[in-house]
Amino acid sequence: MINIIAFLGPSGAGKSTLQDFMDIPPVVTWTSRSPRVGEVDGVDYHFTTQETIMRMFEEGLLLEFTQYNGNLYATAAASFEQVIRSGALASVIVDSNGASELRKKYGERVLVLGVYAPVEECISRLQKRRDPNALERVFTYQEEVQAMQKLADLIVNNAKDNWERSKRLVQLFKKQLFM
Ligand SMILES: Nc1ncnc2c1ncn2[C@@H]1O[C@H](COP(=O)(O)OP(=O)(O)OP(=O)(O)O)[C@@H](O)[C@H]1O
Ligand SMILES: Nc1nc2c(ncn2[C@@H]2O[C@H](COP(=O)(O)O)[C@@H](O)[C@H]2O)c(=O)[nH]1
């Protein structure tokens, strides 16, 4: 039985877009980065400080945490315990560290959904988003795609001319989960 869909892939590939489209309740993770325009605390992330995340780690409250682009990102263990206990289905966006830890802890209950797009498209999407770290974010593109290829159970090519197929694939996949 699958309880957790973990979206994995390089920055700008379209993980959040496909997560929204799939419409499976998200697990809200923690970050020390500042909110982007339009992001809401408790919805997009629990926005907090590095110190709070480190304290949560010391108190054993985290399943894992990672550093990305100068900020910390963390998943709280309790969010997943609740999903597993209730037999619900939830989705989360993580990097390869998060995906590995989820897999280690919950095995077959986790499905890793890889999302990628060509690097030049990722750059232009991040620039359109006015991301101040657009180029830094794609420095690690190659290694993130390699990690995704190793860890993902299913990979979606989310290039712009493939959008209709990406949507169809995640829709079909969601249907399967409820059958
Ligand atoms: N198939 C697509 N074609 C064109 N634009 C797309 C496509 N998918 C997503 N986008 C756009 O690309 C931008 C980045 O998408 P999104 O935020 O979903 O990426 P992400 O993988 O979650 O990125 P990050 O890890 O940096 O948060 C958004 O503006 C989104 O609307
Ligand atoms: N290991 C974890 N990685 C996470 C978590 N939450 C997000 N992420 C990763 O960070 C990037 C960047 O996110 P952004 O919102 O600043 O664009 C994201 O793509 C994920 O790969 C987490 O809790 N743990």
Chain segment 42-81, per-residue pLDDT in tens:
999 999 999 999 999 999 999 999 999 999 999 999 999 9
Q: Looking at ligand 1, which residue's alpha carbon is closest to its atom 25? A: 11
Q: Is 33 in the pocket of ligand 2 (CB under 6 A)?
A: yes
* CATH number of residue 55's parent domain: 3.40.50.300
Q: Is 98 in the pocket of ligand 2 (CB under 6 A)?
A: yes
| Mean pLDDT of the region 96-110 | 97
Q: Is 66 in the pocket of ligand 2 (CB under 6 A)?
A: yes
Three-state DSSP class for 135? Answer: helix
Q: Looking at ligand 2, which residue's alpha carbon is closest to its atom 3? A: 94
Quote the number of domains for the chain: 1
Query: Are the C-beta atoms of 157 and 14 separated by less than 8 Å?
Result: no
- Report the predicted TM-score, pTM, of the whole model to 2 decimal places: 0.97
Structural domain harbouring 71: 4-178
Write out the two tokens for 17: 């877009």
Q: Could you report the per-residue pLDDT of 126-166, keeping only the tens digit for each?
A: 999 988 889 999 999 999 999 999 999 999 999 999 999 99
Residue 178: predicted pLDDT = 82
Residue 23 has pLDDT above 80, yes or no: yes
